[in-house]
Amino acid sequence: MTEINISNMKCNGCVANAQKALEGLPGLESIEINLQQANAVLTGDFDLPEALKRLTDAGYPAEKTG
């Protein structure tokens, strides 16, 4: 389980776009995005830098929590 902070999410459409940016990432098993807390919990054996890059490229700068 990896928790990340995601910036620039303002509505449920943003959440959907952020989720779409992560879909298809090899090894990613689940995505739980919380709009109010501006974060997400990702599970699986995936490339974290690639996940962060995909979100940033989609307009939602992200960083690992902690």
Residue 41 C-alpha from the chain's centroid: 8
- Position 66: which residue type? G
Strand partners, 31: 42
Residue 66: per-residue pLDDT? 74
Strands annotated E in the chain: 2-6, 28-34, 39-44, 62-64
Domains of the chain as residue ranges with CATH: 2-64 (3.30.70.100)
Give 10-residue mean pLDDT values along the chain (66 residues): 96 96 96 96 97 97 92
Q: pTM for the complete prediction?
A: 0.92
